[in-house]
Every structure is written in C-alpha cells, then in structure tokens.
A and B are shown apart, each in its own frame.
Chain A
Amino acid sequence: MSDAAKQITLTIDGVEVSVEAGTTVLQAAEHAGVVVPHYCYHPGIPSRPAQCRMCLVEIEGQPKLQPSCVFPAGDGMVVHTTSETAETARKSVIEFLLLNHPLDCPICDAAGQCMLQDYAFETGQLRSRYAEAKMVLGRDRVAEDILYFGDRCIVCTRCVRFMEDIAGDNALVVAQRGHKAYIDTFPGRDLDHAFRGNIVDVCPVGALVHEDFVFKARAWDMDSSPGICPGCSTGCNIEVNVKENQVVRTKPRLNPDVNSYWMCDHGRRSLVMSNRGVRAEAPLVRQGGELEPASWNEALAWIAGELGDATGIAVVSAAASNEALFYTRVLLDRIGIEGGTFQVEQGDEETLTGFPKLKLRADRAPNVAGAELHDFKRADGLPDVPDGATLVVVGDALSNAPADYGANAGFFLYVGSHLVPAAGNATAILPAATIPETDGTFVNFEGRVQRFHRALRSPGVARPAWMFLSRLLEQLGGEPGVREIGDAFAAMATGTARMEAMSWAGLGLRGELLSEAGQPAVAAE
C-alpha cells in the first residue's frame, strides 16, 4: 500500500518547504514560518468562502492574485506573499475595511487582540481617503448574553459559519447585502445554542462580545493561564483570563484530542462564577466550642494529635484535583478509614455536531474519573454520619448539605475553599485553594490526565489541598511534605498503577491517557 500522502515542495518567500499534497498555500506558508494575514479563514471551520480577500498572494504563473486559504499548494510552485502587488492588495483591503469602521479602539474590548487593528497598524495608513459619512449600524443583541457591534463587523462570516458548520444550527445569518450587510439572527429564530459563545472567540475583531465581559478589561490588563474547564467531565482545555485576581473570562484553548477550538457556554461561565461565595482564609480549629484561627503549623500539629486510628467516613468532591484526592486517600489509609464517596451533579447533555467528541456531558464535574481512580465511589447523596464517628470532607462537597450535617460527628475535618453552612459543624477547617488558584491535574471522561495551572492568588493563607495534606501526613509520621506540584504528581504517579509512566512535565499541555485506557474509567456515554 502506498497510502503515504505524496510530498510536494514549494518555495514561499524564498523559503523552501515540503508539505503533503492537498495542503493549501496558506497552510504551507505556516510550515515555512510565513504568516499570511487572513480574516475569513479559520482552521477549525471547514467552509472556506475565500471572501475576505486578505490572504491574496502572488503565485508565479498565475495571472491573478490567488486566495491562499483555498489555493492548493503545487510541486515547484513559487509563492510571494510580500510582493508589491500582494502588499498593495492587502493594504487596499485594510483601507476598504476601515471605510465604515468606527475606529473606536479606545473603548473596544478586542483592542490589543484584534486582527484588524494589528494589520491596519502593520500596513500603516494614517489617513483615509474616505471623505463620505460613515455608515452607522449601532449595537444589537444577537443572543441573550452576546452583543453585536455592527459598525466594527467586517462580515467575515466566521460566526455564521461556526453556527452552520460546527454547531449545525443556522440561527445566525448575514442580513442585507453589499455594504449594508450585517450579522443577525434568522427572522423568528433565537441564537440559544449551548455552544454559541464560540462565535465571540472566532470573531477576528470586536464585533461580537459577551455581555458579561463587555467593557470589563483591556487585553493588556489581563493575565492568562492554561486551565481545564471544571464545568463537566469533558475537560475542555481553556485559557483563564484574569484581571486584578478575578477570573473575567475563559476561552477555549486548542486541543485537537479534546475540544478542538471550542467550549460550551456552561463551561464558559463556570470559572467566572467561582469568584463567588464566602472563602475559608485561615485554618480554624475548635477551641472551647468555638472555631478559632490558628497558624498552619499549630493547626496541622493539633489535627495530627487528634486524628488517631478511627472509624469513620469520608466525602470528597469530584472537582478536587487528583493530587488532593491522592493525598486524601493516603491520609484515610493512614487513619484507618475505608471507602469514601462523592456526588456528581447531573445536567442535560449538549452536543456539537461538527466536533462530536466535544459534549457538555451529564456529569457536571471535571474529575469524576480521577475520584474513581483513587477508589472513591459515586453516590446519589451524602452518607449518614454515625454518631461519634470521624468525618473527613475534602473539596467543596457540602455545598448542598443541610446545615446540621456532620454535627453529630466525633471529629469533623473540613478541607475546602468555601465556608458553607455545614462547615460550621467542623472540628477543624483547613482552607484550600480553589481550582484556578492551584496547579494540578484532572482525569476526563475518557481517562485523559490533563494539567491545569494556577491563575489566581488565594485569599488569606489558603493553600492547595495536596500541599497541606502532604504536610499533615508528614506530621503523622509519613514522608516529608511536598511543596511543588511536580513532586506531588510524582508521588501520586508512583502510587497509582495506571499513572506509573507519567510525569508532570511529560503531560505537557495536551495531556495523556491513563494506561489501559481502552476501558474508559467512566461509562460516560
């Protein structure tokens, strides 16, 4: 079989590059390290109308400039992306696009990450020859949470084609034609698809903006960290945008094995919502009937003294990191508590026809498979606490618990980030960092171990659970506590059969499947 794709060689801006036959000139240019400016082409959207005319390049032997996004690379082809003709054409497209553009960069949310701004700056035209009045379209709402700034729109139709090609929902259309064209919902239709938020990400300018983000942060005021969406068991790779220690926006981060360029709207909101709630900011231990603040050293020493061999139960959260769950398991083994359960909130499944692997899954927690990997069992509700038993709760597992839950326990250790009502019954509270405040890993529905990185500072002296649980174990006579995520992961990998070959560094940003991944850890489908 000679199925190996035929290789062809072409020259782009003097750089020789070999690519598979069928590659477009624009993609071949990427291989050659040449960026061809473009608007309508998006690597994740299959349809390529070649309508923005920004990627026109000169190809020797072709009478006209050709759109590189669709023109197939040919063997021996010589391409010039910066010849005078190509440059002039590109400059001209920018001039055309700016004719009716309001130039409101100072108040535009895309400023600083806008392809129109970038290329306009690059082609350097200070003055427009346009002496006529600009068209004014104003602002519209295309979905309940998405605003459309018509004047900024360059009608590249990426949003329309995302909805058509990927979401399989043609609720969004181009209305009118010619210079009056704009984006709108089809008459009588609502843009209510569960993945509609992606139209904001594919917009190369500031025409589509989430209402909960509008005017909140300038691109250069935000920090960005790679994260994993905690919204469901899919584990979409995301970029967490932070301003002044608040998550202001999450965007999908490319991972072809998990979520491609996309994520759902439920996930998009999940981290932004995590800013809410009353936080545990310092260790609290019960002294004379009252929970009193203590230093970490005092609290850990005191807890280590109180926690002897005990009978009891454990409740964990499927939103806790693998590392936290691993040290919880070691701790439970140490003090003689077996089993342990977790609950998973259930929701409706939502699908994306153009990338079927990506779903908003019914399990609305990011680490169901990780919790099962560490021998915790899924349960429908909270277990009853036998009078006088030891109760260990790790992660925010009591958010829907009755206020008196755990009041009858003999010793109640609460490890969590939020002070929910039931936490008031605890004997000791150890303040944990939330997911965006820590490094760690999750295991997604198909057994893919994925890293997420710290994006926020924790309030008070809250710390990652894996860090202080390892120190608590040290107090109980175990190994020295860990301070680095790499060490925590290494300890876990050593103690977990299906992770043996893994390392924190080796996971990289795309993750790795658990060994024996032929059997998904969770029957999610």
Chain B
Amino acid sequence: MGYPYSHDLEVGTQLSRHFGDEKARTLEGWKELGGYATLPKALEMDPDAITEVVKNSGLRGRGGAGFPTGVKWSFMPKEPNGAHYLCCNADESEPGAFKDREILRWVPHLLIEGCLIAARAIRAEHVYIYVRGEFFPFSAILRDAVVEAYEGGYVGENILGSGWSCDVTVHLGAGAYIAGEETGLMSSLMGGRAEPWIKPPFPAQSGAFGRPTTVNNVETLAAVPMIVEEGADWYRQWGTEKSPGTKLWCCSGHLERPGTYELPLGVNLRDVIYEVCGGAPNGKKIKAVIPGGSSTPMLTDAELDCSGCYEGMAEAGSALGTASPIVMNEDTNIVSAMRRIAQFYAHESCGQCVQCREGTSWTAKILHRIETGEGTAEDLDTLYHLCEQMTGRTICPLADSVVFPLLSSLDKFKDEYEALIKR
C-alpha cells in the first residue's frame, strides 16, 4: 500500500493506494482503478457547492502553511470579468519533502482530476501545473497523462460534453526553492525571476498574468476528488477537529524504514518515527528531529510525544510544515547539520530583501567558522541577533526558514556550539 514500505498505521486512500502500481499511470489503467469517476459529478454541481464540500471537509493546504483550502477558494470572485487561473504548486522544494513527486509519478491522473474539480470550483479556465525543474522524469509522466486526458475528453474544450472548457499546461521551472512560494511561483510562471511579491495584491485579486489566481499544492488538489466523491464527513473520520484527514508523511534521515506514508493527521510523532519508520538503524539513539521539512524548529527525542497535526505541532513549539520529519541520530553534529541547512537557504535566497540576501549567507559563514573550530563566543550573540532581525522582516518567509531551525538548535543544543567554540 505505502511506498516503499507499509505499516498498519497507514491509511490507504486514493491518495497513496496506487503508489508503485504502474497501471495507475495510464488513462485506461486509471479508469479501471476507478479514476475520473468524480469529475462528471463535479461538473453537474454548482461551483460554490464544490467549494462548500471542501470547506466543510476542513482540508488544509498541504504545502506547509495549512491554510483552509475551501476558504482560499472562496476568496476568488464569484462572477468572473475575465480569466481565472489555478496554479498547481508542484515545485516541492522543501528539503525533506518527497510526497508531491510520488503523486506526480504514480497517480498523475488523480492530480489532473483534482485540478479540474478545483478549477471548476474557482471558475478557472486554465490550470498551470508548475513542476520543479529537477523533476524532469516525473514531469514527463505528468505530460503524457495530460496528453491522454486531452485525448480522452477530460481536459480541453467542452469537457465530457458539459459545455465547460478548461486547459491544463505543465510548466517546468528552472530550479529555485523560492518558486515554491506562491507569488514566486507566479513570477516564474510569467517568465520572470522567481521573486515573491509583497501582498497585497493577493493572488485571488491579481495573481498570474494579473488575473485572479489560486495556488494549491499537489497533495491538496489530489485529495479533492475523494472529498467531493465521499463527502466531508467521510474525510473527517481521520485527523483532528482542526486538522481533518490524512497526510502523506515523508520520513527521511537516520531511520530503519524511511519513506512516504499516508497517515492520519494527529498521529503521534513518536509513533511515526519509531513505529512506522522503525527508529534509527543499528540501535542508535535519536538526537533531533526536524519535523516539517528543513524550515521548521528542531525537536529533541524527549519532545517527540506530540500530535502530528497543524495545531499539535505548533503546541510542541515546532510546525507540521509538509510533514517531512528529518531524523538525526546521536552521531550527528548539529552545527554541521545547521550549517548545511543555512547554506541551502543562502543559496536559494532570491536576493530581494536585504535581511535574507545578506543574512542567510552571513549565518552560513558564521556556522561554517564555528564548525571548523574558528568560532568565538561573540558569534553566538551575533547568531541570536541575526535570528531576531531575519524574523518577520521580509517579503516572504525564506529568511524565517533559516531562523526556525537555527534558533531551536541554539536553544536546545547550545552545548554543541560551545564545545566547538572552546576547542
């Protein structure tokens, strides 16, 4: 069921049931597996009724921020005075996350169906699936699926004889982390540099090509068909009141069974790490977990007993993010790990905001110095100061993404920093 490993705690919804099954990639195979069953129903529904179902299901954005999807859709103008667009964010660029690419490569038609239903709900006439440049082989699978869907009458003019038309374009990015931020994605889609823009204007007012646009994550859109098919209450059988449903967990690092698992939200994080993934190999202890992709605060082994949902992880002082725990065993040098993370963000900063452009690289350089034994006691003060000045000062949260893990590592593993400085 799961991929590549499976576990009893897993829920096998349409989302992950067919991972590893090549049959699901083709239109014919996908139809045999029950695909494209919801689209005809959605075409008969009022667009606002679709939004209402999704709103009631409590589905929250799977790209990391967790904004309620139905609410986001309801921001779109109800009576279009021109084109509306849906952008599917398949730029999955967060280190530690590898869920969207599983959807792209195993169940591309599920994503297309989800995109179409969402497009119907927000009255969009064109769907842009923005795929991360490095996902070249997966984008080829998706492109083949889109071609098949056009041929099958599921995409394009007069879809399934409903009189409604909608196009789907697969757009390959050029490889920038920040193209995963919605305004950065749209800047890049429009042919510019992937530079986020300051809101307002919000995408629902003026997004891609200056038109009302909604940007949704791949996993979010892939969950839409089953929600519309089975209803909000069915979806709410999993998860918590505020975080209903299931979620693809991408577990990586020092684990016995790393992989992508569909687990209900609200699952205990310790269970995810130790039960589902079997803990660290070779009987090692776990030192730290970055639970939501590299941009979230670190948790120590003792802090793992928390509810794996949006509000639960916030209570634990971290964030669910993309539910991508990166596990580090007792042999890990936290300063090195943090330096590598900072280096990544310094490399990926788009260079607009001063705090991010200069701050991320400065942070990486200081960490590198501490790591190589050249650090001074003042460096820690400087790092704390940088954390303060890089939080909430910039257009997008990339600078904050360095601060979250950095600040938590400084607080929780200060002895490691000090040991390297004293050496």
A-side interface residues toward B, CB under 8 Å? 49-54, 56, 63-65, 67, 70, 88-89, 92-93, 96-97, 99-100, 129-132, 154-155, 157, 173-174, 176-181
Contact = CB atoms under 8 A, between A and B. Distances in A.
B4 interface: no
14 contacts: A49-B352, A53-B355, A54-B354, A65-B392, A65-B393, A67-B198, A88-B389, A93-B355, A130-B362, A132-B369, A178-B348, A179-B349, A179-B357, A179-B360
Contacts of A70: 198
Contacts of B354: 51-54, 93, 96-97, 154
B74 interface: no
A179 B351 contact: yes
A8 to B, nearest CB: 18
A416 B387 CA distance: 68
Contacts of A154: 354
B347 A178 contact: yes
Interface string B148-167: 00000000000000000000
Contacts of A179: 346, 349, 351, 357-358, 360-361
Nearest to A39: B354
Contacts of B197: 49
B258 to A, nearest CB: 30
B358 A97 contact: yes
Nearest to B197: A49
B193 interface: yes
B226 interface: no
Task: Across the A-B interface, give the 4 residue pairs with the lowest CB-CB distance, nearest first.
Answer: A181-B351, A178-B349, A96-B358, A51-B352
A132 B359 CA distance: 13
A177 B393 contact: no
A257 to B, nearest CB: 30
A89 B389 contact: yes
B413 to A, nearest CB: 22
B353 interface: yes
Interface in B355-383: 355-362, 365-366, 369, 376, 378, 382
A177 B358 contact: no
B176 interface: yes
Contacts of A50: 198, 395
A130 B360 CA distance: 13
Nearest to A50: B198
Interface string B164-208: 000000000000100000000000000001010110000000000
Contacts of A67: 198
A128 B393 CA distance: 21
B394 interface: yes
Contacts of A176: 351
Contacts of B255: none
Given A65-B393, A177-B176, A155 B355 contact: no
A445 to B, nearest CB: 35
B254 to A, nearest CB: 30
A96 B350 contact: no
B365 to A, nearest CB: 4
Nearest to A67: B198
A47 to B, nearest CB: 10
Contacts of A93: 354-355
A51 B349 contact: no
B349 A53 contact: no
A178 B198 contact: no
Contacts of A52: 353-354
Nearest to B193: A174
Given A51-B395, A99-B362, A155 B198 contact: no
Contacts of A49: 195, 197-198, 352, 395
A41 to B, nearest CB: 12
Nearest to A40: B352
Nearest to A89: B393
A116 to B, nearest CB: 11
B347 to A, nearest CB: 6
A155 B395 contact: no
Contacts of B362: 96, 99, 130, 132
Contact of A174 (B351, B355, B358, B378): B351
Select the residue from A50, A92, A154, A176 with max chain B CB neighbours within 10 A.
Answer: A92
Nearest to A176: B351
Contacts of B365: 132
B381 to A, nearest CB: 9
A49 B360 CA distance: 20
A92 B389 contact: yes
Given A56-B393, A88-B389, A132-B365, 15 more contacts: A51-B353, A52-B353, A67-B198, A89-B389, A92-B389, A93-B355, A96-B355, A96-B358, A96-B359, A97-B358, A99-B358, A178-B356, A178-B361, A179-B349, A179-B351
Select the residue from B193, B195, B351, B378 with max chain A CB neighbours within 10 A.
Answer: B351
A155 B351 contact: yes
Contacts of A51: 352-354, 395
A155 B357 contact: yes
B378 A129 contact: yes
Nearest to A157: B352
A96 B369 CA distance: 18
Contacts of A54: 354
Contact of B394 (A53, A132, A178): A53
B393 A178 contact: no
Contacts of B394: 53
Given A50-B395, A131-B369, A178 B350 contact: yes
A177 B389 contact: no
Interface string B380-423: 00100100010011110000000000000000000000000000
A154 B357 CA distance: 10
Contacts of A181: 351, 357
B153 to A, nearest CB: 40
